[in-house]
Amino acid sequence: MTAVGVTGASGHLGRFLVPYLWERGHVVTPIGRTWDDGVDIDVLIHLAAPDHRDEDAIRDFAKFNERIARWQGYTGVPVINTGTWWQYAGPEAESLSYTALKRDQMATLHGSTLIPFSIYSDRLRDGRGFIPQLIAHMQGRTRLAGASRQLRDWIHVADVCAAYRAALVAPAGVYEVSTGLQLSPMELVVSLTGAKVDEYAETPNCAPRYRHGHVPGWAPRVDILHRVRQLSTRAA
């Protein structure tokens, strides 16, 4: 099986992807900022990313990308990058330093780039993110403070993990990890509860736009409305 290095292994996606790959027989090595350049891997999955609101963190992260580029230059190991759908989402999102960082990363690190859209999971206990808050609202445990009308393409983390695994054997390219279904948080609330909540604005102001196809052999399997209904019936 493929020996895979993963940056951002403890992050929002990495904490799901690392065990997903382990369970399917891959040798997985978490890669941190102080990693050993001599690590023996067949491919590097680059999930790590800075806080998009922190300009200093973005500048520091660019240096990390430069180190990966130098390492790739003498090892030839391909990189599976993680892009952002913001780079095609309108002027406000496209002009951000974070978006520019991701564009530079795609241009500098050679291999494939996967662009996941709005990732959600079944991990509800920490309460972070809109989906856990919506489910708690549906269960009557809390009241949802509000929802925006900004469109999103919601993709379940299991589908995202499957896309990264498919990319390990796919030709190099840029691939979107998306469902093609766009629903705003407010539309989710209305569809699932039949009632509106207070509306708030999100920044940056953007909407999903599609520029690339899916990884060959991969397709999304989890429907957001069906999955949230399932999760909301679990014991609170």
- Torsion of the alpha carbons at 63, 67, 68 and 72, rounded to the nearest 10: 140
**201 CB contacts (<8 Å, ≥6 apart)?**
148, 150
Beta strand 118-120 with 43-46 is unpaired
108-135, pLDDT tens digit by residue? 999 999 999 999 988 766 556 899 889 9
Tokens 């399932």 — which residue? 230
pLDDT over 70 at 222, yes or no: yes
d(CA 50, CA 101): 10
> pTM score, two decimals?
0.94
Closest CA to 78 of 167, 198, 191, 177: 167
pLDDT at 218: 98
Q: Which residue segments constitute the domains of the chain, with CATH numbers given? A: 3-232 (3.40.50.720)
Give the pLDDT band of residue 235 (cuts 50, 70, 90).
low
